[in-house]
Amino acid sequence: MNRYYFWLAARSLKGSPWLSGLMVLAIALGIGTFMTSYAIFHAMSGNPIPHKSHQLFNVRLDNWSPEEAFAEPNEPPSQMTYRDARYLAEAGAARHQTAMFRVGMAVQPHNPDIKPLRTFGRMTYSDFFAMFEPPFLHGGPWTRQDDRGRGAVTVISRDLNDRVFGGDNSVGRKLRLDGADYTVVGVLDTFDPLPRYYDVVNNGPFAEGDDFYLPFTLNDRLELRPNGNNSCWSDPAEDSYQGYLDSECVWVALWVQLDSPAQRRDYQAFIDNYVGEQKRLGRFPRPLNNRLDDVMSWLRVQRVVDDDTHIQLGLSFAFLLVCLLNTVGLMLAKFLRRAGEVSVRRALGASRGQIFRQYLTESALLGAAGALLGLGLASLGLAVARRLSPDMDMLTRLDPGLALFALAVSVTAALLAGLYPTWRACAIAPASQLKTQ
Amino acid sequence: MEIRPILATILRNPVGLILIGLQVALTLAIVVNALYIITTRLDNMRASAGIDEDNLLTISSTAFSGDESDTLANTRQDLDYLRGLPGVVDAMAVNTLPMAQSGWSTEIEASEDPDSHAVPTAIYFADHSLVNSLGLELIAGRPFREAEIKPYTMDQTLKPDVSIISAALALALFPDIDNPAQALGRHSWNGDENDRFATEIVGIVDGIKAPWKGFSVDIFNNVVFVPFIPLYGKTGSYAVRAEPGQLDRLLGSLQQELTELNPQRVVRDPRTFSEFRERFFRGDKSMAVMLSVVVGLLLLVNVLGIVGLVSFWVTQRTKQIGTRRALGATRGNILQYFLVENALISSAGVLLGAVLAMALNNWLASEFQVQRLPWHYLAGGSLALLLTGLAATCVPALRAAAIPPAIATRSV
Amino acid sequence: MLSMQNLNKVYRTHLVETHALREFSIHVDEGEFVAVTGPSGSGKTTFMNIAGLLEEHSGGLYQLDGVEVSGLSDRRRSAMRNEKLGFIFQGFNLIPDLNLFDNVDVPLRYRGFGGGERRRRIERALEQVGLSSRARHFPAELSGGQQQRVAIARALAGEPRILLADEPTGNLDSTMARAVMEILEGINASGTTIIMVTHDPELAARASRNVHIIDGQVTDLRGTFAGSDIGIPATA
Ligand SMILES: Nc1ncnc2c1ncn2[C@@H]1O[C@H](COP(=O)(O)OP(=O)(O)O)[C@@H](O)[C@H]1O
Ligand SMILES: [Mg+2]
């Protein structure tokens, strides 16, 4: 019987190609526009590490000025001082933890045919790899031993490995960075979490990843300045690098892995306790205001989905509504134009429910057709978005999941739009049309 | 005019009113707000950076090894070389450029009291060649003197003796003056409570922009130039101003030439100022384009919807129209009937739409950084929607007017 | 009052040409009550439509109230329909979304009368057909006979010179049909010319003159021997 409705619906759509075309077009324009914004929104607001986003926490301590908050309303700084981050990273109070900051370095390939490169990397601890789980192509992370011993080791990206080592397994080979050699212990495979949650502050949530990773402790020797945000509310006490490290300037991020609510409570107590101790030493003039944000909460705090994306999503949804109102009108026209057919069917014994199903099947079919065309329009829209912002390339993809979502939205919308016209069609009395003819 | 019976008909069968009215209302609310956002963004994009935008490029180099004194030596060597190149007007070591989206900022005060009115401002490093190197408009005072320029390493606290500031910053800093030139010779203050220092303002430039706009506070027009050569570790970066028409040639050759000058480093690809500008306004541009598409499609869908529904009504009322014709209605009367009907429905939609538009604008203003909607957008939008509605109605209404009166007796 | 000479009407479709009227001549005097009969498809409606300026004829002459109507503009024809003619249709043709008052108002609006004048005429016309009390009702709330009386009121309100009724009782049962006929006789008595198509020999017999149309041509049966005694089959 369902196949019969389906056949009737298809026949009816073919029967009035203009009106049907107009309806499909209205739905498709709505779906196409909405899906264009939604795809971008979806990519921006996605969970980059679903299986442990509740276990990874960004840590913030409020060491800011007594006079004003770092940001309203009473937000602690988005990064930490070097000394706090380093202390917490090495205190080992969580299962995993790492401090990190981004640096720029020159790579001098040993092969003279390859031109030197300016690259960007991350000073971090070995726990980085256990926490954020970048996939390894060759080798693996360095060890906690290397962290403690300031080992001259590095993990490099697949891209850097391709450029400097021609894509060979470079584990065990030397990479020359800023004039010093580091032994490659691991080569990562493509590592593009979306958004790049572990560093939305400096690198931007949708920017390129790191070329290399070095043990944080090497900084004792390298004395690097961050290639990223640095904010100070008072000048360093002393004009030297050590003065900078000891200052209240914030430029290092700290992440921890806490596997249970209990661990989380303990860790909160631990950092509160630490800040309490520091207060006794005359630091941290503001009231206790330390934060642990898990991945999704951190992305919200950092407003990773920007205002424009929200506005576009909202307006395109309203546009979809207009298209639906439009479709209601057109369906009304189409269904009631066939009032005669309905009353004949009713006279021939079709029940109200059967007529109802017949018309809803037709609505759903319209929705499906609209979704198909709409997806075409959405990929056109995303291509435009890509042209406008090449750096948003990663955000402008339509995957099967999104296509299914579009289909669901479209069919639901068409069914909703078809509800009133169908109800009107069902209200036609069996003989009403016969009588006046 | 038969307004009362038309109104009665509409109210008796309000589906059309609801469908078209809501459609017009939503369209108005979206279109007006979107158009306002689009205009704002297009206005943004017209902003000038206050420098010789068309002829500037930046290039930077990072040495493989060495300390800041090596960086200073390299910088001097590079600048000498660049300044001597044919086709180069001048060159200068910089920390950043207007609209580059990263850089330095601080808050300065007009008096020694650290709690006095603080003005946020961007900081640019510059030397004596500033005016020439960036193509600035110095409206008062003097450029830096060569003797005033000192190297600056990241470990130092920034304590300039003299500065050149933007006209907007001068006015923001000294509310008592009405001509930025009056700030010449005055001092700005900076530094922590127990370490205050004053900087004499020796020059005023007009129109220069900060690297970014600022989120909570607007610093886009507040700029202070300080007389230092920035030494950022092993990296030096330079702004190079080309003579008109020479930019492309320099873009092609500079990386190679600087590398040859000193091979113990990485010289990055030069970037033109236009690239910074394009990147800076990318968001505004995509927003403007995306919203324009939505506005265009919305109007299209609105027209399609009206044409569709009115066509349906014409079909449904064929006999009625024939009867009216038989009773003496001219073609014009029939056309008029549908136009009046649409005008009534659209007016209701526009009224509701105006309320929705204000509500939407309120929401946008409270949630996002969108300004209050000027009333003429609402008025213009309403009028435009009414007119498109009437134009759309004409299509089926002309068909209605062509229905022959004999339909009255011929149809069942 | 109405005079047609050698009128022709040809309908062309892509397949066939139908000669709905051929060399059709008729003359109707002021105050006559003409009943038109004839088999289905013979051209009765075509005659009425041309008489009522709803359609144009293909050849011949047609004078209405002393005006030669051939070649008049659509505007002038509309104005003449509005001022000189009244229509009553088989299917009543009331506008379902307007109440009785507004239905009767329709032709008056096109005439351009002021509000007071219209109100007076509407009330009088509704009174004439005995429906004043129902002025605010909608057509769907009335019986067929009542609806046709509203249609008559609508035709009367403009004080036409000629009333054209194409099978006005075709959708009504015999009691209702007689009631409608009585109203029409009253109107005719007050001087309005009436031309009425009917299949009902009994009603035709009550007219002052009978005209029979076969194959697009007139056979005039003067009122004296009106009736069905010649045995013309009345096709329904
Ligand atoms: N619009 C038209 N197009 C083609 N043929 C028509 C049209 N209207 C009427 N006819 C034909 O003209 C002839 C006369 O029709 P009509 O005047 O309606 O007859 P009656 O009213 O006597 O039943 C019929 O053969 C009919 O089929
Ligand atoms: Mg007929």
Tens digits of per-residue pLDDT, A161-176? 999 999 999 999 999 9
Q: Tell me, what amino acid is at A256? A: V
C216 lines ligand 1 (CB under 6 A): no
- Domains of chain C, first to last: 29-58+72-230 (3.40.50.300)
Mean pLDDT of A364-375: 92
Q: What is the pLDDT of residue A356?
A: 84
Take atom 19 of ligand 1 and give the residue whose Cα is closest. C41
Q: Which of C36, C42, C48, C55 to mutate to test the pocket of ligand 1 (most atoms within 8 A of CB)?
A: C42
B277: pLDDT confidence band, cut at 50, 70 and 90?
very high
With contact defined as beta carbons under 8 Å apart, do A97 and A87 qualify?
A: no
C43 lines ligand 1 (CB under 6 A): yes
A293: pLDDT confidence band, cut at 50, 70 and 90?
very high
Distant-in-sequence, close-in-space partners of C6: CB < 8 Å, separation ≥ 6: C23, C24, C25, C59, C60, C61
Could you tell me the residue ranges of all domains in chain A?
A: 2-47+306-436, 62-289
B216: pLDDT confidence band, cut at 50, 70 and 90?
low
Tens digits of per-residue pLDDT, C193-215? 999 999 999 899 999 999 999 99
Q: Look at A251-260, A335-344, B174-183, C8-17 and tell me which has the smallest mean pLDDT.
A: A335-344
* Residue among C54, C106, C107 whose CB faces B406 most closely: C54
* Residue among B27, B289, B309 whose CB faces A329 most closely: B309
Alpha helices, DSSP H, located in B85-166 = 130-134
CA A41 to chain centre: 8
How far lies C21's CA from each of C14, C51, C90, C211, in Å? 19, 12, 21, 14
Distant-in-sequence, close-in-space partners of C161: CB < 8 Å, separation ≥ 6: C1, C30, C65, C84, C85, C192, C193
Higher confidence at residue A206 or residue C86?
C86
Q: Which ligand is nearest to the CA of C10?
A: 1
Q: What is the pLDDT of residue A163?
A: 94
Tens digits of per-residue pLDDT, C81-122? 999 999 999 999 999 989 999 999 999 999 989 999 999 999
Task: Answer yes or no: is pLDDT of C229 > 50.
Answer: no
Q: What is the pLDDT of residue A14?
A: 78
CB within 8 Å: B409 and C106:
no
Chain C neighbours (≥3 Cβ pairs under 8 A) are B
A208/chain B closest Cα distance in angstroms: 16
- Give me the percent of chain A exceeding a pLDDT of 70: 98
- How high is the mean pLDDT of chain A? 90
How far lies B137's CA from each of A299, A383, B164, B208, in Å? 42, 41, 12, 8
* Structure-block tokens of residue B104: 């330095």
Residue B232 φ/ψ, nearest 5 degrees: -100, 90
Residue that the structure tokens 């960004």 belong to: A58
- Give me the percent of chain B exceeding a pLDDT of 70: 99
Dihedral of CA atoms A301, A304, A308, A309 in degrees, nearest 10, equals -120
CA of C95 to the centre of ligand 1 (A): 25
Whole-prediction pTM value? 0.86
Task: Answer yes or no: is pLDDT of A434 > 80.
Answer: no
Tens digits of per-residue pLDDT, A383-427? 998 888 887 788 888 889 999 999 999 999 999 988 888 888 887
C49 lines ligand 1 (CB under 6 A): no
Instruction: In whole angstroms, give the CA distance from residue A318 to residue A324.
Output: 10
- Give me the percent of chain B exceeding a pLDDT of 90: 75
Q: Which of B29, B20, B306 is nearest to A317 (CA)?
A: B29
Atom of ligand 1 nearest to the CA of C48: 17
- How high is the mean pLDDT of chain B? 92
Mean pLDDT of C149-178: 91
CB neighbour class for C133 (10 Å; exposed up to 12, middle 13-18, buried from 19): exposed
* Structure-block tokens of residue B226: 């300080």
Instruction: In whole angstroms, give the CA distance from residue B132 to residue B149.
Output: 16
Residue B203 φ/ψ, nearest 5 degrees: -155, 155
Q: What is the pLDDT of residue A8?
A: 78
Residue B3 φ/ψ, nearest 5 degrees: -65, -45
Q: Which of C46, C164, C197 to mutate to test the pocket of ligand 1 (most atoms within 8 A of CB)?
A: C46
**Neighbouring C-beta atoms of residue A369, cutoff 10 Å:** 21
Question: Which DSSP category does C112 fall into?
Answer: T
Q: What is the pLDDT of residue C231?
A: 39
CA of C137 to the centre of ligand 2 (A): 30
A311: pLDDT confidence band, cut at 50, 70 and 90?
very high
Instruction: In whole angstroms, give the CA distance from residue B361 to residue B359.
Output: 5
Bridge partner residues of A101 (DSSP): A123
With contact defined as beta carbons under 8 Å apart, do C196 and C87 qualify?
A: no
Tens digits of per-residue pLDDT, A85-111? 999 999 999 999 999 999 999 999 988
Question: Which parts of A48-163 are beta strand (E)?
Answer: 56-60, 80-81, 96-107, 117-124, 136-139, 153-156
Which residues does chain B have within 8 Å of residue C158's beta carbon, measured at their own beta carbons? 328
Distant-in-sequence, close-in-space partners of C228: CB < 8 Å, separation ≥ 6: C201, C204, C205, C234
Q: What is the pLDDT of residue B1?
A: 59
Q: Which of A147, A155, A157, A156 is nearest to A218 (CA)?
A: A147
Tens digits of per-residue pLDDT, A238-291? 888 999 999 999 999 999 999 999 999 999 999 999 999 999 999 999 999 999
With contact defined as beta carbons under 8 Å apart, do B78 and B238 qualify?
A: yes
In which order are the strands placed within the sheet that holds C17-28? Answer: C17-28, C2-12, C59-64, C67-68
Whether the bond into A195 is cis, omega within 30 of 0: yes
With contact defined as beta carbons under 8 Å apart, do A339 and A426 qualify?
A: no
Distant-in-sequence, close-in-space partners of A35: CB < 8 Å, separation ≥ 6: A374, A375, A378, A381, A398, A402, A406, A409
Task: Answer yes or no: is pLDDT of A206 > 60.
Answer: yes
Query: Could you give the 3-state DSSP secondary structure of residue B102?
Result: coil
Atom of ligand 1 nearest to the CA of C9: 12
Q: What is the pLDDT of residue B22?
A: 92
Task: Answer yes or no: is pLDDT of B89 > 90.
Answer: yes
How far lies C164's CA from each of A155, B56, B409, C8, C96, in Å? 99, 88, 11, 20, 22
Instruction: In whole angstroms, give the CA distance from residue B270 to residue B58.
Output: 6
CA A209 to chain centre: 14
Q: Look at A204-208, B22-26, B200-204 and tell me which has the smallest mean pLDDT.
A: A204-208
Q: Which of B78, B93, B35 is nearest to B288 (CA)?
A: B35
* Torsion sign over Cα A126, A130, A132, A133: positive
Bridge partner residues of B267 (DSSP): B61
Q: Helix A307-337 to helix A17-45 angle, to the nearest 10 degrees?
A: 160
Q: Which ligand is nearest to the CA of C39?
A: 1
Tens digits of per-residue pLDDT, B109-131? 999 888 888 899 999 999 999 99
Instruction: In whole angstroms, give the CA distance from residue A165 to residue A210.
Output: 17
How far lies B262's CA from each of B58, B69, B73, B145, B241, in Å? 18, 15, 11, 28, 21
C38 lines ligand 1 (CB under 6 A): yes
Task: Answer yes or no: is pLDDT of C227 > 50.
Answer: no
Instruction: In whole angstroms, give the CA distance from residue A124 to residue A119.
Output: 16
With contact defined as beta carbons under 8 Å apart, do A28 and B289 qualify?
A: no
Task: Answer yes or no: is pLDDT of B316 > 90.
Answer: no
Query: Could you give the 3-state DSSP secondary structure of residue B40?
Result: helix
CB within 8 Å: B405 and C81:
yes
With contact defined as beta carbons under 8 Å apart, do B347 and B307 qualify?
A: no
Q: Which of B398, B384, B389 is nearest to B336 (CA)?
A: B398
Instruction: In whole angstroms, give the CA distance from residue A326 to residue A320.
Output: 10
Q: Look at A2-11, A34-43, A229-238 and tell me which has the smallest mean pLDDT.
A: A2-11
Q: Look at A213-222, B102-111, B387-396 and tell me which has the smallest mean pLDDT.
A: B102-111
Q: What is the pLDDT of residue B65?
A: 86
Distant-in-sequence, close-in-space partners of A57: CB < 8 Å, separation ≥ 6: A255, A256, A257, A258, A264, A267, A292, A293, A294, A298
Instruction: In whole angstroms, give the CA distance from residue A176 to residue A154.
Output: 10
Q: Give the strand pairing for B162-166 and B223-226.
A: antiparallel
A130: pLDDT confidence band, cut at 50, 70 and 90?
very high
Mean pLDDT of C65-71: 89
Alpha helices, DSSP H, located in B262-330 = 273-280, 282-316, 318-326
Mean pLDDT of B185-205: 91
Task: Answer yes or no: is pLDDT of B34 > 90.
Answer: yes
